[in-house]
Amino acid sequence: RPEVWGSFVWNMFDFGSASCFEGESPGINDKGLVTYDRKTPKDAYFFYKANWSPQPTVYITSRRFAERTEKTVPVKVYSNAPAVKLAVNGKAVGSVKPDELKRAVWPEVTLKPGVNTITATASVGGKTYTDSCKWTLKPSGGEEGKKDSERYQDPSINKYK
């Protein structure tokens, strides 16, 4: 876009901050694109890579949320390829063309109980690129019927209901 002459990212890495009490690690500002130990790129890192880099990118998001309690889940892949194919446990789910923000989404993918292998594949310039992760579908522990987003809410906050 001609009106945009530059852009930036707040932080490449999570960093120490004595006044931060967010997430699981007090004293860590966790808004970076890569974890504090600089070993694990987060989903946002691959969003920018798919949008800003010519290097072919195929990345399944929410991979660190590996333990699932919902049988039907959305699957989102960041990719700058023309089309992305998705498979769950070796069974084809379908092919999607990424949108203008390089997101390919399958809104309702069914997982089986136990370990599920999610695989995204795309071809760019005659080469095949693949990303894979494992999600485990576990029983919901007595909260049957609740979505994960509902299960982990603070019940005292009414705005989410």
pTM of the model: 0.79
The whole-number pLDDT of residue 109 equals 97
| pLDDT of the residue at 153 | 47
In this predicted model, what pLDDT tens digit does every residue of 39-51 receive, in sequence order? 989 989 999 999 9
pLDDT of 97 reads: 98
Q: Which two tokens stand for residue 28?
A: 């860590």
Mean pLDDT over all residues of the chain? 86
Q: What is the pLDDT of residues 77-122, one digit of tens each?
A: 999 999 999 999 999 999 999 999 999 999 999 999 999 999 999 9
- How does residue 149 score in pLDDT terms, banded at 50, 70 and 90? low
Three-state SS string over the chain comes to: CCCCCCCCCCCCECEECCCCCCCCCCCEECCCCECCCCCCECHHHHHHHHHHCCCCCEEECCCCCCEECCCEEEEEEEECCCCEEEEECCEEEEEECCCCCCEEEEEEEECCCEEEEEEEEEEECCEEEEEEEEEEECCCCCCCCCCHHHHCCCCCCHHHC
Q: Residue 159: pLDDT band by 50, 70, 90 thresholds?
A: very low
The per-residue pLDDT for 143 is 53
- Residues 14-40 have a mean pLDDT of 84
Residue 65 has pLDDT above 60, yes or no: yes
Q: State what percent of residues in the chain have pLDDT above 70.
A: 86
